[in-house]
Amino acid sequence: MKITSIETFILHAPVTRQGIADSTHRLTHWGVPGVIIRTDGDVSGFGYTGTHAHLPTDRLITQCIAESYAPLLIGSDPLEVRSLWTKLLHHPPLQWVGRAGITHLALSAVDIALWDLKAKAAQIPLWKLLGGCGDEKVRAYNTDGGWLNWTIDQLIADARGLLASGYRGIKIKVGTGCVPEDVRRVQAVRQAIGSDIDLMVDANGRWLLPDALDFCRRIAAMDLKWLEEPLWYDDVDGHRRLAARGGVPIALGEQLYTIDHFKQFMAAGAVDYVQPDAVRLAGITEWLMVADLALSYRLPVVSHIGDMAQVHLHLAIAHPSCHLLEYIPWLSDCFEEPAAVSEGCFVTPQQPGASSTIRSQAFEKYRVG
């Protein structure tokens, strides 16, 4: 089989709650810059990364795919995924300008498309290609809630609705700029959902170390499963000190680009729940390396889902470090086989591929640029 053409696309799909906010971002749309890799066989691979739907930067990603990676791919055997990944990652002109950022996001889209193609060629779902078992149940926790632009009453009503639909875990945002207000919001939700439900909080990198320690001291009785991204994303030593002194498990990884970043946090004891994202790492290939590394440290992997769980569900089924995965339904009308949750667990995908194939109607509705 040979790669014959590379087509890029950009989708901007509306978020489901008509504008949402965390401590550092406000969003109305989710961006899906992606690629379709076509072959001389009868299968094509779909891959994409995830952005905040800013067209000028999304265009930089698709340009990198079309102008820098595509010439290296045309004529190659798409089933030789890891070899192609290494070739693209180490291509000297690209390595010189970016081992993270735009070039890495672009490589993630390409790598996901190649894995999708490989699973389709084998006529099996990606989780099976990676050696997973279809009986493996992945629990879902919901993160399309708990937004900072909601009142406490909205937080409580939404949390109760999620429990009624079967979820046993929810995450809410903190980082209002006032730690006592953050604590009031967390306390109100914990009281509303009771003590048996997993409750996680996410500061999206907003705090300085004293704010995070103050928060941890005040919520000590709230039994939080984890505190996510309390400090600036790259601050290994700050997270190490917080993990040692705060008394709340630390989750992070959604902003880390490479296995080397993850290794620094794990080696320092600065992370308890590892959150790699295949659309920020260089795709599935690098995600698997990070998950294996986490396993060697005996740390659970709870992926961040810049792909809205489509590909990550396959990875969670297949990897022994994953039992829990977040769910956000923003792109549920974009895919031929959208990720779905029933009674608090993900439904196992059955179609060949990585569940990354975009529906033609989604191109009609959401394609931009």
Known catalytic residues?
A: 173, 304
Site string for Mg ion, 211-230 (x = CB under 5 A): -----------------x--
Which of 51, 103 has the CB closer to Mg ion? Answer: 51
Q: Return the ∠ at Cα 313 (arms to 310 and 316), rounded to 5°.
A: 150
Nearer to Mg ion (CB atom), residue 114 or residue 200: 200
Output the smallest distance, CB 25 to Mg ion, in A. Answer: 10
Residue, CB closest to Mg ion: 202
* Residue 277 engages Mg ion in binding (rule: CB under 5 A): no
Taking CB under 5 A as the criterion, which residues in 174-213 touch Mg ion?
202
- List the interface residues with Mg ion, window 126-185 (CB under 5 A): none
* Sequence-separated (6 or more) residues with CB below 8 Å from residue 90: none
Total residues contacting Mg ion (rule CB under 5 A)? 2
Query: Minimal distance in Å, beta carbon 255 to Mg ion?
Result: 9
**Which one, 253 or 349, has the nearer CB to Mg ion?**
253
- The distance of closest approach from Cβ of residue 297 to Mg ion in the complex, given in angstroms and rounded to an integer, is 21
Nearer to Mg ion, 228 or 286 (CB): 228
Closest approach of Cβ 320 to Mg ion, in Å? Answer: 23
Contacting positions for Mg ion (CB under 5 A): 202, 228
